[in-house]
């Protein structure tokens, strides 16, 4: 059996619906900022209980637009170091300095403590990233810390479609949240992004920014330094059709994750260090398991583990979140502060088991038996 790192799921019905909508879009010539974009925005807002949603060309654009709307120019914006480079690029493009912070080992995310350690006198905003789809239970403490210091909390929810903590959806803990519809993400439109917010001023600003800063679609008065951040109708209809499957994808992913949880916990033997550990989700919370994160015990050679799984068992692990923290990336040399030891350790050791929105129980079983066998064989090699 072969289990790929990722699988993009569009049913035959979805493909037919998108093909027929494409024909309609091409024949009417309504190619951008039309009815499909409005439908996609309304459905996304409803699915996340958000008052406003604005569709844009990418998740990176969504985050940059939020930060521009907040005017963070010449301030410091705290981001976790274990995130995609786009999080910090958006901060830079909005005219601010990214400040890299460490994260909690229990959530892979920023916490009130790790943000407190990274604060500067010039900190204006914090970008919380829900790594792998887990909304950290520390989010409320972090929101309180930000409120006390008049710092804006923004969420990069690129991983977190449909995720919840304590009944609140990702994207609604801070002033605004950005989502991505890149092909690997839980819901895709090919390329695309979405801003969610409850703030009418951010909503208004986002509509202006995404279309070259124009005061209105038809006018030619430019009132903000915008950009070509529109989403085409072809992308919007793709995202709209895919989004309808969010609940079904969440149900499948939750079922497979429960199986993974039980098997990872079952690897432990009394009196011996656990071969691998996993993240824990508070009861009642929703994780979409964009990434199913596992920490093999210290000393396991990740490259060998991945090679063994692929070559002997046909199992490709999903990409890490992330392999190299941003403060160690060449492009951010000017912004790297000191060591961030927790993130450095997490980045160097964790693996992500493949988890697809249409995964079968047989595939999950194959991943788990292969993972246990590969870990055991590495242990034997290590002992020899
Ligand atoms: C994917 C991703 C983005 C960027 O999304 P794009 O749609 O590719 O621009 C931003 N932040 C994180 C954490 C991501 O994973």
Nearest alpha-carbon partner for 178 in 61, 23, 324: 61
CA 193 – ligand 1 centroid, Å = 9
CA 229 – ligand 1 centroid, Å = 15
**Residues 239 and 43 sit within 8 Å (Cβ to Cβ):** no
Let me know if residue 122 belongs to a domain.
yes
Choosing from 196, 222, 245, the residue where a domain stops is: 245
Q: What pTM, to 2 d.p., does this model score? A: 0.98
Mean pLDDT of 19-37: 98
CA 200 – ligand 1 centroid, Å = 24
The DSSP letter of residue 41 is: H
Domain containing residue 379: CATH number: 3.90.1150.10
Q: Quick one: 121 and 206 in the same domain?
A: yes
**C-alpha to C-alpha distance for 172 and 334, rounded to whole angstroms:** 32
Choosing from 245, 261, 288, the residue where a domain stops is: 245
- pLDDT at position 383: 54
CA 185 – ligand 1 centroid, Å = 9
pLDDT in tens, 255-285: 999 999 999 999 999 998 899 999 999 999 9
pLDDT in tens, 150-170: 999 999 999 999 999 999 999
Q: Quick one: 372 and 321 in the same domain?
A: yes
For residue 5, pLDDT over 50 is answered with yes
- pLDDT at position 152: 98
The more confidently predicted of residues 206 and 384 is 206
Let me know if residue 25 belongs to a domain.
yes
In sequence order, what are the beta bridge partners of 293? 352
Choosing from 245, 272, 292, the residue where a domain stops is: 245
- Domain with 270, as residue range(s), is 247-383
CB 82 near ligand 1, within 6 Å = no
CB 182 near ligand 1, within 6 Å = yes
CB 156 near ligand 1, within 6 Å = yes
Q: Quick one: 278 and 372 in the same domain?
A: yes
**C-alpha to C-alpha distance for 180 and 337, rounded to whole angstroms:** 28
For residue 382, pLDDT over 70 is answered with no
Let me know if residue 211 belongs to a domain.
yes
- pLDDT at position 379: 78
Closest ligand 1 atom, residue 131 Cα: 13
- pLDDT at position 219: 85
**C-alpha to C-alpha distance for 331 and 248, rounded to whole angstroms:** 39
The DSSP letter of residue 319 is: P
Q: Quick one: 102 and 228 in the same domain?
A: yes
**C-alpha to C-alpha distance for 107 and 127, rounded to whole angstroms:** 15
pLDDT in tens, 110-124: 999 999 999 999 999
Q: Quick one: 92 and 205 in the same domain?
A: yes
CA 81 – ligand 1 centroid, Å = 14
Q: Quick one: 204 and 254 in the same domain?
A: no
| Residue 314: pLDDT band with limits 50, 70, 90 | very high
Nearest alpha-carbon partner for 188 in 235, 222, 126, 153: 235
Q: Whose CA is nearest to atom 5 of ligand 1?
A: 59
- pLDDT at position 384: 44
Number of domains into which the chain is organized: 2
CB 232 near ligand 1, within 6 Å = no
Mean pLDDT of 224-239: 98
Let me know if residue 6 belongs to a domain.
no
Q: Quick one: 39 and 174 in the same domain?
A: yes
- pLDDT at position 217: 82
Domain containing residue 61: CATH number: 3.40.640.10
Mean pLDDT of 173-186: 98
Let me know if residue 2 belongs to a domain.
no
| Three-state DSSP class for residue 127 | strand
Let me know if residue 3 belongs to a domain.
no
């Amino acid at each position: 059996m072969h289990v790929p790192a990722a699988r993009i799921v569009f049913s035959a019905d979805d493909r037919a619906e998108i093909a027929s909508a494409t024909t309609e879009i091409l024949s009417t010539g309504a190619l951008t900022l039309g009815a499909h974009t409005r439908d996609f925005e309304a459905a996304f807002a409803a699915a996340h209980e958000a008052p406003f949603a604005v569709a844009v060309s990418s998740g990176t654009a969504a985050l940059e637009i939020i930060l521009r709307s907040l005017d963070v120019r010449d301030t410091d914006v705290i981001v976790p170091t274990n995130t995609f480079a786009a999080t910090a690029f958006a901060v830079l493009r909005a005219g601010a300095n990214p400040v890299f912070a460490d994260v909690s080992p229990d959530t892979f995310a920023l916490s009130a403590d790790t943000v407190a350690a990274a604060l500067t006198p010039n900190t204006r905003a914090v970008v919380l990233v829900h790594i792998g789809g887990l909304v950290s239970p520390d989010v409320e403490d972090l929101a309180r810390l930000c409120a006390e210091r008049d710092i804006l909390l923004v969420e990069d929810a690129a991983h977190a479609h449909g995720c919840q903590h304590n009944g609140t959806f990702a994207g609604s803990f801070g002033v605004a949240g950005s989502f991505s519809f890149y092909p690997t993400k839980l819901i895709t439109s090919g390329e695309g992004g979405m801003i969610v917010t409850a703030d009418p001023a951010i909503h208004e600003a986002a509509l202006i920014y995404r279309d070259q800063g124009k005061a209105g679609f038809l006018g030619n008065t430019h009132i903000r330094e915008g950009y070509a951040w529109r989403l085409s109708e072809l992308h919007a209809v793709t995202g709209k059709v895919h989004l309808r499957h969010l609940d079904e994808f969440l149900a499948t992913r939750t079922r497979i994750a429960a199986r993974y949880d039980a098997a990872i916990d079952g690897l432990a033997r009394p009196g011996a260090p656990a071969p691998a550990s996993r993240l824990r989700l508070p009861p009642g919370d929703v994780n979409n398991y964009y990434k199913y994160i596992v920490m093999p015990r210290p000393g396991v050679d990740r490259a060998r583990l991945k090679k063994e799984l692929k070559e002997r068992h046909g199992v490709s692990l999903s990409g890490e979140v992330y392999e190299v923290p941003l403060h160690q990336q060449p492009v951010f040399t000017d912004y790297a502060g000191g060591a961030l030891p927790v993130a450095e350790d997490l980045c160097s050791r964790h693996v992500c088991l493949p988890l697809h929105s249409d995964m079968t129980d047989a595939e999950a079983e194959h991943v788990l038996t292969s993972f246990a066998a590969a870990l055991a064989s590495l242990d034997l090699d290590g002992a020899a």
